[in-house]
Structure 1
């Protein structure tokens, strides 16, 4: 289970780097190349949305079926273990949500840049006429 979260954290880190690269100011030719490269990566990377969704469902299921340790019967170590699992689940929810939101941001940035490129080409055509 820890390997899944490690992979998801690496994917989120890669998405952050890609989002930063897309938002840096470049000359137009370099910007077009970077956007086209990232656009090619976006379709296969869409599987991260399904993976994060599955992980969220897993967290929800475990939260619903977790034994609560709030009574006087629980020992201090059991209570600490319970609280640690709650904190880990909250961290993992933030990680999954971040993965989906970053993917969406990268998609929208690429779409806006492509739309801008199409509009610039249309403007060139109208100026030539």
Structure 2
């Protein structure tokens, strides 16, 4: 099950790098290429959303089927520690899911804004040449 989390972490890292490169000032010469690469990468990266939903359901299933340590079922210290570690991993994984979804949405929004700004700049240049 750890492979899914590695894949999601790599996808979130790639989204973060693309977002950083798109918003970094001073890369005006590279920006058209970055926008093209990002726009082409967005379509496959949208598959992160259903993947995150699947992993969220996995966390929920683990939460529902976890062993309980109440008065009826006494837990040994080892079982209690394993239970606490499982809860911590689930919380970490939920944060990773939230970050991946947020980065995906931000990358989509920033890419749209950059494309829109480029289109408006082209219109302004065209109007200046006409005058």
For normalisation by structure 1, the TM-score amounts to 0.91
For residue 73 of structure 1, what is the aligned residue in structure 2?
74
Q: Is the 8 A contact 1:15 1:103 kept in 2?
A: yes
Equivalents in 2 of 1:68, 1:115: separation in Å? 53
Deviation at 1:10, TM superposition (A): 1.6
37 and 89 in structure 1: CA distance in 2 versus 1, 3 angstrom threshold: same
Question: Runs of 5+ in structure 1 lacking a partner?
Answer: none
Count of residues paired in the alignment? 129
* Deviation per residue, 1:24-58 (Å, 9 max, x gap): 11343321211111111100111111111110111
Unaligned runs of 5+ in 2: none
Structure 1 stretches of 4+ with a deviation exceeding 6 A read none
| Alignment of 1:6 onto 2:3 | no
Paired with 1:34 and 1:70, the residues of 2 have a C-alpha distance of 55
Query: Secondary structure of the equivalent of 1:28?
Result: coil
Q: Show the 5 A alignment for 1:41-60.
A: 41-60=41-60
